[in-house]
Structure 1
Amino acid sequence: MNEIAVIGKAALALSWAGIASIQPAPALAQSQPGDGFEVTRYALALTPDIPNKTLAGRETITLRITAEDVRLLSFSGNALIIDSAAVDGIPVAINQHGSLDFTLPHPRSRGRTVKLELAYHGRPARGFAGSQDLLYTSYFACDWMICAQERFGDKADFSLDLRVPAGMDTLSLGRMTAKRAGPEGSEIHGWKARRPYSPYLYGFAVGRFARASAKAGSADLTYLSDAADSADLKRRFAATPDMVAFLSDKAGVPLPNDGYSQLLVDGDEAQEAATYSVLGIEALPTKDGDPAEDWAIVHELAHQWWGNLITCATLKDFWLNEGITTFMTAAWKEHRYGRAAYEAELDIARERLAKARAKGFDKPLTWSGQYPSLGTRRAVQYSKGALFMEQLRTTIGDRAFWSGLRRYSRAHAGGTVTSIDLERAMETASGRDLSALFAEWVFGTSQGG
Structure 2
Amino acid sequence: MITRTLTALLAFALLTGGCAPTAAPASASAVSSTEVPAAVSPTQAPAIAAARPTAAPTASPSATPEPPAEPALPPEVAVQAPALIPSAEGDLAGAGAWDRYTIIAALSPGELSVRGTVTLDMVNRYGVDLDQIYFHLYPNHPDFGGRLDVTSATVNGAQVHSGTQHGDTLLHLDLPAPLAPGESARVVLGFTARTPRGASDETFGAYNFEAGVWSMANFYPILARHTADIGWDTRPIVSRGDFTVSSVALYDVTIDAPNGWALLSTGVTISDGPVNEQVHRQRFVSGPQREFYLGALQGLAQAEAVVDGTRIVSYYQAKNPRAGQEGLAVAERSLRAFNQRYGSYPLAELEVVQSALTQFLGMEYPGVVLIEQKLYTEGGRGLETTIAHEIAHQWWYSQVGNDAQGEAWLDEGLASYSQVVYYEATGEPEKAAAELQFFRNTFRNARAAGRDAPLSSSPAQLSGGRYYPVIYAKGPLFFQALRDQLGEQGFDAFIHAYYSAFRYQDIVGDDLLRVAQDSCGCDLTQLYDDWVRTAAPVAIP
User: For 1:413 and 1:122, how far apart are their aligned partners in 2?
Assistant: 31
Distance 2:489 2:423 in 1: 19
Tell me if the contact between 1:272 and 1:301 (Cα under 8 Å) persists in the aligned partners. yes
- Give the conservation status (yes or no) of the 8 Å contact 1:228–1:264: no
Residue type of the alignment partner of 1:403: A
Give the corresponding residue for 1:81: 149
How far apart are residue 179 of structure 1 and its match? 0.8
Give the equivalent residue in structure 2 for 1:214. Answer: 305
**By how many angstroms is 1:281 displaced?**
2.7
Residue number in structure 2 paired with 1:29: none
| 1:362 aligned onto 2:452 | yes
Residues 15/168 of structure 1: CA separation in 2 closer, same or farther (3 Å cut)? closer
In 1, are the aligned partners of 2:116 and 2:190 still within 8 Å (CA)? yes
- Taking the aligned partners of 1:369 and 1:225, their CA distance within structure 2 comes to 32
1:254 matched to which residue of 2? 344
CA contact (8 A) 1:227 1:265 kept: no
CA contact (8 A) 1:7 1:55 kept: no
**Which residue of 1 is the match for residue 373 of structure 2?**
281
User: By how many angstroms is 1:309 displaced?
Assistant: 1.0
- 1:135 maps to 214
SS of 1:145's partner is: coil
Structure 2 distance, partners of 1:69, 1:429, is 37
- Secondary structure of the corresponding residue to residue 194 of structure 1: strand
2:267·2:348 contact (CA, 8 Å) conserved in 1? no
Match for 2:130 among 67, 70, 85?
A: 70
> Aligned partner of 2:395: which letter?
W
How far apart in 1 are the matches of 2:464 and 2:283? 36
Q: Is the aligned partner of 1:118 residue 2:189?
A: yes
Q: State the TM-score, normalizing by the size of structure 2.
A: 0.69
- Preserved CA contact (<8 Å) 2:327 2:387: no
Which residue in the other structure is 2:478 paired with?
Answer: 388
Q: Measured at CA, do residues 60 and 187 of structure 1 come closer, stay the same or move farther in structure 2, by a change above 3 Å?
A: same
The letter for the 2-side match of 1:345 is E
Q: Distance in 2 between matches of 1:390 and 1:431?
A: 19
2:506 alignment partner in structure 1: 416
Q: Which residue of 1 aligns with 2:81?
A: none
Hey, what does 1:57 align to over in structure 2? 116
1:30 corresponds to which residue? none
Distance of aligned partners of 1:130 and 1:275 in 2 relative to their CA distance in 1, 3 Å threshold: same
Q: For the residues of structure 1 that align with 2:191 and 2:246, how far apart are their CA atoms?
A: 26
SS in 2 for 1:397: helix
Q: CA deviation at 1:313?
A: 5.3
Higher relative contact order (CA 8 A, sep 6+): 2
Looking at structure 2, the residues matched to 244 and 374 of structure 1 have their Cα atoms a distance apart, in angstroms, of 36
2:263 to 151, 164, 170: 170
SS at match of 2:437: helix
Letter in 2 for 1:100: L
> Mean alpha-carbon deviation: is it higher for 351-360 or for 51-60?
351-360
Distance 1:343 1:234 in 2: 26
Deviations 1:191-224 (A, max 9, x none): 11122x223xx31110133221112133221112
Aligned to 1:307: 397
Matched residue pairs, number?
Answer: 411
TM-score normalised to the size of structure 1? 0.82
For 2:496, the equivalent position in structure 1 comes to 406
Task: Flag structure 2 segments of 5+ consecutive residues without an equivalent.
Answer: 1-27, 39-96, 141-146, 197-203, 226-232, 234-244
Output the CA distance in 2 between the equivalents of 1:192 and 1:178. 10
Structure 1 residues 89, 226: CA separation in 2 closer, same or farther (over 3 Å shift)?
Answer: farther
Which digits, 9 at most, give the CA deviation of each residue in 1:63-121, with x for residues without a partner? 22235442222222434222211111111122123221222223322221111111122
Higher helix share: 1
- Alpha carbons of 1:179 and 1:231: their partners in 2 closer, same or farther (altered >3 Å)? farther
Q: 1:107 aligns with which of 178, 186, 194?
A: 178
Asked if 1 retains the 8 angstrom alpha-carbon contact of 2:406 and 2:458, the reply is: yes
User: In the alignment, is the contact (CA less than 8 A) between 1:227 and 1:266 conserved in 2?
Assistant: no
Post-superposition CA distance 1:122-165 (Å, at most 9, x none): 43585512327530135xx2xx2111467646211122222211
8 Å Cα contact 2:31/2:113 also seen in 1: no
Over the matched positions of the two proteins, sequence identity in percent amounts to 20
Distance change in 2, residues 1:306/1:267 (3 Å): closer
| 1:45 paired to 2:104 | yes
Is 1:192 aligned with 2:285? yes
Amino acid across the alignment from 1:300: E
Deviation at 1:422, TM superposition (A): 2.3
CA RMSD, 1 decimal:
3.0
Cα distance in structure 2, aligned partners of 1:435 and 1:342: 28
